[in-house]
Structure 1
Amino acid sequence: RGTQHVCRLVLFSVSKTNVHVCQGANSYGQLGQGHVEDQSDPRLSDTAPLQNKAVRAVSGGGGHSVVVTENGEVFVCGQNDRGQLGLGHNADISTLQLCPSLSQRVTQVACGWDFTLLLADYGRVLACGSNAFGQLGVGQTVTHSADLQVVERLREPVVSVAAGLRHSLAVTHSGCVYQWGRGLFSHAKRALSPQPVPAHLSSTVPTLVPGLEQKTPQLVSAGAVHCMCLTGDGNLFLWGSNKHGQLTAKEPFLSSPTPVKNSLLGGEKVIRVWSGWTHIVAQTETGRVFTWGRGDYGQLGRQILMKQHPERQSAGPSAGGGNQEACLPAEVEVLHGATHVACGSEHNLAIVGGCLLSWGWNEHGMCGDGSQTDIFQPQLVSGLRPLLIGCGAGHSMAVCAATTDSRQNSAMTPLE
């Protein structure tokens, strides 16, 4: 499966009395610890560049990480072969380094496989890294960029951005949803043939996603080859690949946003949603947490009656080889009332009752239990008092309250 990965957006705050720990894949120095060795136990990160700075957001891609501070500064580390760190060069960096070229304050960040999106003041979107699939939104003349590019075709302020492996999404202040990047094109072409592929699935510049008019879009999120939009009235819309049943539909591909039936979520409105590569986690208005999609690495956090195999899952629900039980949302009761959830590619973290839980794919030790064995139900990561959390596809991060517990201090001793 390798060590390349993508991670989702996470927000948190820190102070001088908190500690930042991480574990998991570190092939390119994306943990920011000054080396490239994987870590299967939580270890202190080198946050010296962030001293006395509150952190607002962190995101990671195929091998890179990006940290945004409360005052809008951007710090980066990890893989940089396509310029995804926005430093103006292509050298990898194993400790956090300030991105010096920014002239405006950044408020959000989202990372794809080998590209980065930054949401800056006044709702402007900046992009850097690979543009092989048009995922930067600047047309096809640029193959990749180590310098930040303004996504000029987004002509009104943006309030939310998301990045999949090779596609991007944005919601504007007026509630329009835009998509760009050809990462879903081949999937759409196979599924929709002989019908043409809709423009929003094949464009290298931001293109309006149809079907969300008058739906009050507020937030977008992205999986490997699927898209999500959460509206202000608590409805969740999904489109893209349904290879693992993550769209709760029978069709192998949905070209336009389709709502998830509220009856599948206890009849309740959705207030928060997170996505891994091929699985989805949603929280409803009463605090219930539902999961669905691919589950053969334990990423759903619940027992599934039908035995799963990756090769059978890949057949998809429409081919009769997928697990129909996993395709439908089901509640994970131990996660009820979670104050935050973070999804990696196929693993997850959650804060429940002030405790840190982890589950799912664990090949690189990103679940933080010292092993590389997949975890099929949420389990306690002992010795940590998490305040906020985040995941890369193959690594995990947590901002924790400082403690005098000797076991925690031992577990988090930085490697020499």
Structure 2
Amino acid sequence: MLYGSVANHNVTLHMETSSRPEFCLHSWGANSYGQLGQGHVEDLSEPRLSDTTALQNMAIRALIGGGGHSVVITENGEVFVCGQNHRGQLGLGHNVDISTLQLCRSLTQRVTTVACGWDFTLLLSDCGRVLACGSNAFGQLGVGQTVTHCADLLVVESLKEPVLSVAAGLRHSLAVTVSGCIYQWGSGLFNHAKRALSPRPVPSHLSSTVPSLVPGLDHKTSRMVTAGSAHCVCLTGDGDLFLWGSNKHGQLTTAQPFLSSPTLVKRSLLGGEKVIRVWSGWTHIVAQTESGRVFTWGRGDYGQLGRQASTSQNPELQPTAPSAGNQEACLPAEVNVLRGATQIACGSEHNQAIVGGCLLSWGWNEHGMCGDGSQSNVFQPQLVSGLTPLLIGCGAGHSMAVCTATTDSRQNSAVTLPQ
């Protein structure tokens, strides 16, 4: 999710080829590798039109970002990519960075969902198969240890049943199958687990280089996963949230420094309501409940919680777990201005949301990814002016949005929204 993995609820937006397009792709923030699709590698602190030449006459389904790369999924299941490609994370068969969107021509299956990790990519096809490319230094591709990185798309063969949801953390991966089981692979959490659990052994799902069944959810039907840099999130069909992994910044709502297996988040912490959607940054979590309320928790010193948080959340002051005095600040709290948000996306430490047809952004802003023309962190959701957003996505340090072209009176005619 990490990195802008966002449920876009089948919003379909059509890119037009006329001189006055109905919909435009904007991007801003970090751009060291061309991940903004602008044709250059300069950071942008305000939204600018991306080069969408390759997307002419395409309908866009989703925008996803990774550490330094971006992915656009079209409604017909094609994938367009740009940005950092040193580990082959663009799936183009080579390792050259690309500064404008380019079609991933090697795909022979329609893609419905993509999850971007730091330097790898997971793609989910419409038949439930998981494809992977990029770095495999930590086993995060799920294909074993013989491959260190790959610029071609590899099938994660050991996932024997169709997959519903995939997630990519910094160096680990997750998948939910149609039967509701969760599988995890990649050793990105291993060192965290070893320190916290010693002398007890580290469970296999925290160090496997192929998909390993995550224990502890035998009587639950999982439906969605997302991931932080070193934690995991599961949403069940009955609206419960389960968390595991590192708790360095209080993101697991517990005093324990590490949780090796999924642990329930009490509904009382979320207004007593079911959760319907969840997103994750590197070290913070955002959840929306059935009434539309939005709760945030975890690390907040860059403003990524969108609300007041204790200054004692500085990681240097709590190397293992949140202090007892700071426990309240690490627990979920509602961000009132986000109530009723129709879309939310999380980068590593910044966020975007669409609320009432307006684009809001907050959090880490060193590279201008909050879109306000500055590099100052944003501690409460603020309006990104000049855009009418319809679809959003985040990478680790960059932002993307498909917006209406306000000069066109037909601006809403090509939008397909869920009922």
TMscore range, shorter length? over 0.9
Secondary structure in 1 aligned to 2:183?
A: strand
Displacement of 1:7: 3.4
Q: Distance in 1 between matches of 2:42 and 2:324?
A: 37
1:28 equivalent in structure 2: 33
Q: Distance in 1 between matches of 2:110 and 2:255?
A: 44
Matching residue's letter, 2:404: A
Q: What does 1:90-239 correspond to in 2, within 5 Å?
A: 90-239=95-244
Q: Distance in 1 between matches of 2:369 and 2:319?
A: 24
Matching residue's letter, 1:40: S
Q: Percent identity?
A: 79
Matched, 1:337 2:334: no
Describe the shift of the 1:10–1:37 C-alpha distance in structure 2 as closer, same or farther (beyond 3 A): farther
Q: What does 1:4-403 correspond to in 2, within 5 Å?
A: 6-11=3-8, 12-15=11-14, 16=16, 17-306=22-311, 308-317=313-322, 320=323, 323-403=326-406
Secondary structure in 1 aligned to 2:13?
A: coil
Q: Distance in 1 between matches of 2:64 and 2:302?
A: 22
Residues 315 and 322 of structure 1 are in contact (CA less than 8 Å); yes or no, is this contact kept in structure 2?
no
Matching residue's letter, 1:14: L
Residues 108 and 120 of structure 1 are in contact (CA less than 8 Å); yes or no, is this contact kept in structure 2?
yes
Displacement of 1:382: 1.3
Displacement of 1:313: 4.9
Displacement of 1:50: 0.6
Q: Distance in 2 between matches of 1:322 and 1:371?
A: 33
Matching residue's letter, 2:258: F
Per-residue CA deviation, residues 173-208 of structure 1 (Å, 9 max, x unaligned), is: 111100000000000000000000001001000000
Residues 22 and 395 of structure 1 are in contact (CA less than 8 Å); yes or no, is this contact kept in structure 2?
yes
TM-score (norm 2): 0.93
Secondary structure in 2 aligned to 1:197?
A: coil
Displacement of 1:70: 0.9
Q: Which blocks of at least 5 consecutive residues in structure 2 are unaligned?
A: 17-21, 409-419
Residues 315 and 321 of structure 1 are in contact (CA less than 8 Å); yes or no, is this contact kept in structure 2?
no
Per-residue CA deviation, residues 190-248 of structure 1 (Å, 9 max, x unaligned), is: 00000000010010000000011121100000000000000010000000000000000
Matching residue's letter, 1:171: V
Q: Distance in 1 between matches of 2:290 and 2:363?
A: 25
Describe the shift of the 1:308–1:169 C-alpha distance in structure 2 as closer, same or farther (beyond 3 A): closer
Residues 223 and 235 of structure 2 are in contact (CA less than 8 Å); yes or no, is this contact kept in structure 1?
yes
Q: Distance in 2 between matches of 1:394 and 1:118?
A: 21
Secondary structure in 2 aligned to 1:267?
A: coil
Q: How many residues align?
A: 399
Q: Distance in 2 between matches of 1:389 and 1:321?
A: 37
Displacement of 1:308: 4.7
Residues 312 and 322 of structure 1 are in contact (CA less than 8 Å); yes or no, is this contact kept in structure 2?
no
Q: Which blocks of at least 5 consecutive residues in structure 1 are unaligned?
A: 406-416
Q: Distance in 2 between matches of 1:321 and 1:33?
A: 47
Answer 1 or 2: higher relative contact order, Cα 8 Å, separation at least 6.
Answer: 2
Per-residue CA deviation, residues 9-47 of structure 1 (Å, 9 max, x unaligned), is: 453421231111111000000001100000001100111
